[in-house]
Chains A and B, each alone.
Chain A
Amino acid sequence: MARVFSLVAAVCLFALPLSAEGIDDAVTSFELDNGLQVVVIEDHRAPVVQHMVWYRAGSADEPIGASGVAHFLEHLLFKATDTLASGEFSATVAANGGQDNAFTSYDYTAYFQRVAADRLALMMQMESDRMVNLRLTEHNITTERDVILEERNMRIENNPRALFNEQMNAVQYYNHRYGVPVIGWKHEMETLSLSDALGFYRTYYSPNNAIVVVSGDVDPDDVRKLAQETYGQIPANPDLPERMRTQEPPQTAERRLTYKDPRVAQPYVSRSYLAPERNSGDQQQAAALVLLARILGDGTTSYLTERLQFEQQVAIYSAAFYGGMSLDDTTFDLLVVPSEGVSLQTAEEALDTALADFLRSGVDPEHLDRIKMQLRASQIYALDNVDGIANRYGRALASGLTVADVQAWPDILQAVTPDQIMAAAREVLRPERSVTGWLMKADEVTQ
């Protein structure tokens, strides 16, 4: 349910859905005079539509001291506007048989509704209304701040793995806001005010900072007309700031941390490396890292599983993660959960030995062929999930990529060579660019 946010850079268990764009040509994009970007993805199999608006503003764009305000504002967007009472937005969607929600990440905040296709005009009218006409009260602030604090309790405070991830990120990013959790640090969330929320809203919520994605049973010309009648009536914000963030300096020293919690049942080793993201017109290295993550740690046939689970039997689970869709430098992550009786030290050493061996031995061409076959098939399977395609475009455009980048991506993945994968591996998997964390039971002795 609702007002959810996604922890994109945390060691997440959702591997990125890989690309359906190549054989998906039913995409139209255009821009309104006020700078609003619109993407339409047609799928006429069912008379249903998904309408999303993505703001190029996430937690990494927050002012210092106000962490969590992007996500807080996301909650507050369901309160009153000039023409809608508090709660009336969702009630109206529900009264039209639809579903709505929203989510916040480091680089974007997004709102969406799924409804019958003939209700699109109403959704666009309401969504464009709350882009600029929000009317918040102090009472909204006090109750909704309690809600986000309970959300933090549920997602983070009650979960030692989430607390550990938060510390890992904080250590990985010394100078970039990706080191601050999307939901915010608790002590700063407790002080978020009406003026914090309105400040973020007035700075970032405008047509020239938004992307509208409409997918489903729609005609692009109709969408253009509706967009013009709704969003098109809002003037651009001439004071929209450049999206400039403090960047990470080159990391030159290996970093380590240990997090202990009595609620940990299963200790594990987590490793992250600072890694480049997908850049517009320059996605080759990111593509090589996507394939590297699959080769190293994606399922039964992956390199680390083979070594650590089947051969040495020192781990019950191992995995590699790389997202790649991010505005600034992201991370390449590894995880090893040791077998019963195996220490974290032994597990970490086995991981490093396996990585060193991989860097010497290189890519198994047959394994790479199988992964590429799966990527091609995923383009077919993805056609069955038009909402997934809409999400992919929205995220990409909010993360600095273009429609052309998204459409080029499947071919770029297919063209990656073993040499490129090994070059990316040597570039990224360097100890001096790493953070290694041990999640431990409270009573465990460090070895």
Chain B
Amino acid sequence: MRLILAVLTWFSLSFAAAAEVEIQDITTPAGLDAWLVEEHSIPFTALELRFRGGTSLDAPGKRGAVYLMTALLEEGAADMDAREFARAQETLAAAFSFDASDDSVSISARFLTENRDAALALLRAAIHEPRFDPDGVERVRAQIIASLQNDAKDPDSIARKVFSRLAFGDHPYGSDGEGTVESVAALTRADLVQAHRDVFARDRLYIGAVGDITPEELGALIDDLLGALPAEGREIPGPAEVLLTGGDTVVEFETPQSVAVFGQAGIERRDPDFFAAYVLNQVLGGGSFESRLMNEVREKRGLTYGVYSYLAPKDLAAVYLGSVASANDRIAEAVQVIRDEWTRAATQGVTEQEVEDAKTYLTGAYPLRFDGNGQIAQILAGMQMEGLPIDYVATRNDQVKAVTVEDVNRVAADLLDPDGLRFVIVGQPVGITESTN
């Protein structure tokens, strides 16, 4: 009780190619945990808060409640209406952004040292005392409905939504967290108050901070900002079953270029083979020009501007996703080439040289992520949410380097499922018909 703040761990590391990042694990007097990197050379701080659960916490029949609630946090709080709140924020030159995704509600804040207390008082009001004034609710509701109507005529959005429904069915992952036009239209103020109560709680909170602040100052700041939150929030739904089957789904839409989202069941972040899968994906379709998919679909055949694949280990399910877009009369060839590459990697594996190149790229690119207080704060919060140890930033590259071509090819044979690969194609594709393997 007398202890102002406990610095539990002082973890220090330095990359071959990145700044020394010293992560401190602190526990505040009120018992909240946070990771901090002190960086006093520029007089501001970036603070990242994550509340696990996100839009998956929507109550039955209330799809979009968490999203709308989150969007309203800066639309008036305590004794300030939306415009008074915005003027106060401008006066302080503080920046707050609020976002809701499938797995979390995130709050990213940036504030100057010279007016830190005033900026935090404002953020505190937004988190604890949002007003949900009727005019603000209607204004933001109209914006979200307009965005949903846009999505309904956007081939990328259509493809993603149809794919999610096929992959996850009635689980919250199976529908858009923004809700539907009908569900958003029906939300009441009481629904928003309930969503607020469901999301913001201490049992699901992760905090990263980087900047011009000491551990003692951060501890006091966090307790003032978040100490009064309720202990527990709404129960997070159970795991989602991945329902994907192999084949092609076509959504007719009049547009010159077909857009395809593809995917299959994935691999959990905690799986011991995760890094082998990560290296495999880098070879197959990771976001560089060297991937097999980029080479075969774009460089050799000119079928697309971009083709990518990526592992998506979400909290409640893991999928392996990708996307491509080609003119309506060329998309069939692009889809075939991707299927062939999926099969080739699954059956013949990849080469030792490919694995080594991918590892060099991944280990070299990792420190480049640590370029700015805001990005580092997000990494710190994300690591905690994923349950990674505080020394992860120092061991991560070693884990990548430890992957062998044998590991990758074992995982390729096990993970890649050409027969289970589902394509959702939106457009007027020539030569593709609906199919299920």
Contact = CB atoms under 8 A, between A and B. Distances in A.
Contacts of B300: 143
A45 B211 CA distance: 13
B288 interface: yes
A445 interface: no
A142 B146 contact: no
Among B17, B255, B372, max chain A CB count under 10 A is at: B17
Contacts of B361: 94-95, 97
B289 A90 contact: yes
Contacts of B130: none
A6 to B, nearest CB: 15
Interface residues of B, number: 69
A147 B142 contact: no
Interface in A96-143: 96-99, 114-118, 142-143
B143 A380 contact: no
A47 B368 contact: no
B287 to A, nearest CB: 6
A158 B159 CA distance: 14
B305 A150 contact: yes
B349 interface: no
Q: How large is the interface on A (under 10, 10 to 19, 20 to 34, 35 or more residues)?
A: 35 or more
A337 B143 CA distance: 10
B42 A380 contact: yes
Given A48-B368, A377-B112, A154 B83 contact: no
Nearest to B298: A147
Interface stretch (A199-207, A328-336, A382-390, A401-409): A382-390
A90 B294 CA distance: 13
Nearest to B374: A384
A309 B146 CA distance: 14
Given A158-B259, A380-B112, A383-B42, A263 B289 contact: no
A335 B145 CA distance: 19
A427 interface: no
Contacts of A78: 289
B306 interface: yes
Interface stretch (B86-94, B214-222, B237-245, B312-320): B86-94
Interface in B245-287: 254-257, 259, 287
Given A150-B302, A151-B305, A317-B143, A387 B365 contact: no
A162 to B, nearest CB: 12
A317 B298 CA distance: 38
Given A153-B256, A158-B256, A1 B287 contact: yes
A413 B254 CA distance: 47
Interface string B145-174: 110011111110000000000000000000
Interface stretch (A223-231, A349-357, A367-375): A367-375
B63 to A, nearest CB: 19
Contacts of B330: 150
A150 B326 contact: yes
A2 B257 CA distance: 19
Contact of B302 (A47, A96, A147, A309): A147
Q: B149, B290, B302, B374: which has the most chain A beta carbons within 10 Å? A: B302
A381 B254 contact: no
Main secondary structure of the interface of B (DSSP, over half): mixed
A263 B254 contact: yes
Contact of A99 (B17, B256, B298, B365): B365
Given A48-B368, A90-B288, A95 B360 contact: yes
Contacts of B256: 153, 157-158
Contacts of B306: 1-2, 154
A370 to B, nearest CB: 4
B142 A340 contact: yes
Contacts of A415: none
Contacts of B305: 147-148, 150-151, 153-154
Contacts of A383: 42
Nearest to B372: A384
Contacts of A97: 17, 360-361, 363-365, 368
Given A145-B302, A151-B305, A94 B146 contact: no
A252 B339 CA distance: 58
B41 interface: yes
Contacts of B90: 299, 301, 370-371, 373-374
A189 to B, nearest CB: 13
B235 interface: no
A48 B327 contact: no
B228 interface: no
B75 to A, nearest CB: 8
Given A46-B370, A48-B371, A153 B325 contact: yes
Contacts of A94: 288-290, 357, 360-361, 364
Contacts of B93: 373-374, 376-378
B301 interface: yes
Which among B90, B259, B290, B361 has the highest number of chain A CB atoms within 10 Å? B90
A87 B360 contact: no
A142 B299 CA distance: 11
Contacts of A380: 42-44, 112
Nearest to A149: B327
A158 B257 contact: yes
Contacts of B83: 300-301, 306, 310
Contacts of B39: 45
B18 interface: yes
Q: Which of A144, A147, A153, A313 has the most CB of B within 10 A?
A: A153
A45 B373 contact: no
A95 B358 CA distance: 8
Given A114-B368, A150-B305, A300-B83, A2 B255 contact: no
8 contacts: A48-B17, A97-B363, A116-B16, A118-B17, A150-B302, A153-B305, A265-B149, A380-B112
Interface of A: 1-2, 45-48, 78, 87, 90-91, 94-99, 114-118, 142-151, 153-154, 157-158, 262-266, 299-301, 306, 309-310, 313, 316-317, 337, 339-340, 370-371, 373-374, 376-378, 380-381, 383-387
Interface of B: 15-19, 39, 41-44, 82-83, 86-87, 90-91, 93, 95, 110, 112, 139, 142-143, 145-146, 149-155, 254-257, 259, 287-290, 295, 298-306, 308, 325-327, 330, 357, 360-361, 363-365, 367-368, 370-374
